[in-house]
Structure 1
């Protein structure tokens, strides 16, 4: 089960292990650190089933993380992986739980995570995309999950983004429009979605905005009126939407 357990307020002291059994300090191998105040039943405990309590334990006892990288409870493995030496994390690339593999993808050296581009879990592929650079990201631009494509598009070489100019997902195309070189970006002025065209209008050079002067969406025209080269402003001074026309008139008067 990969979904995180719901957290209850710390004022409620309920200490159960990951199999639902009550916890007792007497059964714990860490009585020494309990005496030092570095764990606290119901609040800071590696044996607890609640993520926040486990995380607090490793935050205060990072040196113990290596002992728990093969724990049967995936939350313990994932949180231990956040604190353990990176030299111990390679086996976690093949962990059965995505939460654990995500941590491995985020922490291992980049050269070690390239092969994880093809992991079955989108969250893992996103974590990899956020680490890779250059041509290593190209394969992820064609990923079947749009969130992976977004992560890859944010870091891929701008020239490679032409492959995503016609992506079926609006959010992907918006990321592309923020990063495309000007020559390719000009081709997106006819995008079907006005939210994409707004981004195009925000990033296209002022002297390239003429194709958007008569855009059917007033949000696009408003951005155009704010940014377009003054030579192309006259049609916008008669726009049917008063705020658009007003911006155009003010800019034309001050140009």
Structure 2
């Protein structure tokens, strides 16, 4: 018998994926209840609540292999976390993105390569996070900015120039944080001040004059704090008080 909703710790009804009352007598895993390895309303593969399904498989991971074809996507997705790795390729074409996301966390590299063009961005984000860095080049044209941001964080430094003119500023910020010195210098003229600020934080002091006249005060302030004191120049009389203070403070210390 399933406990009343009022007696459940979370108050969420214990019903199956079709909204029907759970009937333990017809469950193919009913013997587990007698062994104390499932509890209606707490750990149950028949429940539509994902946390209860997850708890069921945590208690009974050996059952996962038999549940990969379950009609409810949450069961397939959670079962994929525990099932035999060699059985997961059958889910590559699963109609639900939650299931595909789940297998993308475990599948070997050769299968991840097949998931690079998955229609769901969350799946592609997971693929980009796990794919071998050398293979990420094949995802540089992904239509989603966050997928490309993940790629920029993991791509081999020598390939980052392929993304330094990406249309999205978040991608370019990620590039600026990792690109080599020559590539970084080439980003000093980026249209976005957030990108140029990262450039100012990483450029060698000798190259900071490139940004000494930047229209954004935050960047000039960063330059004033790092540039060689002998090259402070116009920063000593900058229109922004914080920039002037930083520049003059350094100039005074040298004097």
Which protein shows a greater Rg? 2
**Equivalent residue runs for 1:211-226 within 5 Å:** 211-226=210-225
CA distance in 1, matches of 2:251, 2:65: 67
Between 19-28 and 74-83, the greater mean CA deviation after superposition: 19-28
Question: How far off its partner does 1:53 sit?
Answer: 1.4
Distance change (3 Å), C-alpha of 1:229 and 1:61: farther
- Counterparts of 2:12 and 2:138 in 1: how far apart (Å)? 48
Structure 2 residue runs without a partner (length 5+): 1-7
Pairing 1:166–2:168 present: no
Q: Distance in 1 between matches of 2:13 and 2:21?
A: 8
Q: How does 1:14-33 map to 2 (within 5 A)?
A: 14-33=13-32
Q: Which runs of 4+ in 1 moved over 4 A?
A: none
Q: Deviations over 1:44-73 (max 9, x none)?
A: 211111111111111222121111111111
Is 2:169 the counterpart of 1:199?
A: no
CA shift digits 1:177-214 (9 cap, x unpaired): 11111101111111111111111112222222111111
Q: Distance in 2 between matches of 1:125 and 1:248?
A: 46
Judge conservation of contact 2:188–2:210 (CA < 8 Å) in 1. Answer: yes
Map Cα deviations across residues 124-166 of structure 1 (whole Å, 9 max, x no partner).
Answer: 2221111223431112111111121112111111221212222
* Aligned pairs for 1:90-239 within 5 A: 90-239=89-238
The TM-score, its normalising length taken from structure 2, stands at 0.89
Whether the 8 Å contact between 2:176 and 2:184 is mirrored in structure 1 is: yes
- Give a deviation string over 1:86-140, Cα, whole Å, max 9, x none: 1221111121111111222220111221122122222222211112234311121
Report matched runs for 1:236-251 at 5 Å. 236-251=235-250
Change (3 A) 1:118 1:211: same
How many angstroms apart in 2 are the aligned matches of 1:177 and 1:242?
28
Distance 1:196 1:32, change over 3 A: same
Please state how far the C-alpha of 1:13 moved relative to its aligned partner.
4.7
Q: Name the SS for the 1:89 alignment partner.
A: helix
Structure 1 residue 37 displacement after superposition: 3.1
TM-score when normalising by structure 1: 0.89
Q: 2:109·2:132 contact (CA, 8 Å) conserved in 1?
A: no
Tell me what 1:6 maps to.
Answer: none
CA distance in 2: counterparts of 1:18 and 1:90, whole angstroms? 24
* Structure 2 residue 49 is matched with structure 1 residue 50: yes
